[in-house]
Structure 1
């Protein structure tokens, strides 16, 4: 059974917040020191609040639901994507993929590609990815994104990011 992908609602906030934190733990386990990663992914209340805060004009969040209806709240949402108008002063294209994640159990199942198709489609877009995240970079490159030479430092996870663009 395929996971359903739909726009997030206020009722999804807790499950989406759990997905967000658990995705970070899984995706960044080899990139961020364990103690820092645990510290950055332990505040479910703060993350839930972020999922209940209004997004603003033109921004959307999509979620992928676990096909198992008996899944506990921590497993109900298994992926998500966030999009909106480009937030960079020098946005190379007007549309930004702000986030896209799937739980590790769903890596290489096509779910990430489905989320990307629903949230972005074929339109030009840009995103930021940790430079050392080779798995994510390979995913984006398969979908037509390439580095444009821009970079920045992310103090939250203490990692360098690069910007990828699909024109």
Structure 2
């Protein structure tokens, strides 16, 4: 897929939840396929309706996430941020990039950066990244994020992986 200038980024509404989550499922397979087995993705896909309901409740209560879409409405990326939780207040930042996904054929096109900056608006921020996801770590380093030494072992369906916290300070 070649990225053309005819895409736009906009806040997602209720109507975009299902297609955005289907795109996210594909992006997860592309980003985490080397880290998780098929049963992980099958379980995620089997939980689709519950995830849709969770996102519907979030948007109804004021949460916002952004989608990147082609002129024909095909969703090719998504991103969202949240205020940092109490445990991350030690970073001195107020926003966490909670998700950023683009389809793999669009890696390196600038779409990920565009989505990220739509959410963060050049603010100081943090992101939690799977330590073994070298591509994501490199992307965030390129955009000013530095691993701050904080990490945690994941549990549940993510067991066996570790997340690290990366922080970006603009000032």
Give TM-score scaled by structure 2 length: 0.85
The reply to whether residue 113 of structure 1 matches residue 117 of structure 2 is: no
1:88, distance to aligned residue in structure 2 (A): 4.2
Query: Deviations along 1:49-95, whole A, 9 cap, x unmatched?
Result: 232122556x531111133x1x7xxxx21111111210242331111
1:38, distance to aligned residue in structure 2 (A): 2.8
Query: 130-139 vs 43-52, which deviates more?
Result: 43-52
CA contact 1:63–1:78 (8 Å) conserved in 2: yes
1:125, distance to aligned residue in structure 2 (A): 0.1
Q: Alignment RMSD, CA only?
A: 1.8
Aligned residue for 1:53, secondary structure, equals helix
CA distance in 2, matches of 1:23, 1:88: 29
- Counterpart of 2:127 in structure 1 is 127
Aligned residue for 2:158, secondary structure, equals coil
What aligned pairs does 1:1-150 form with structure 2 within 5 A after superposition?
1-2=4-5, 3-54=7-58, 59-67=63-71, 69=72, 76-91=74-89, 92=91, 93-150=93-150
The reply to whether residue 160 of structure 1 matches residue 162 of structure 2 is: yes
1:157, distance to aligned residue in structure 2 (A): 2.0
For structure 2, list consecutive stretches of 5 or more residues without a partner in the other structure: none
CA contact 1:81–1:100 (8 Å) conserved in 2: yes
Give TM-score scaled by structure 1 length: 0.87
CA distance in 2, matches of 1:90, 1:119: 18
CA distance in 2, matches of 1:108, 1:88: 33
Q: Which stretches of structure 1, 4 residues or longer, exceed 3 Å deviation after superposition? A: none
Q: Which has the higher helix share?
A: 2
How many residues align? The count is: 160
For structure 1, list consecutive stretches of 5 or more residues without a partner in the other structure: none
CA distance in 2, matches of 1:90, 1:4: 32
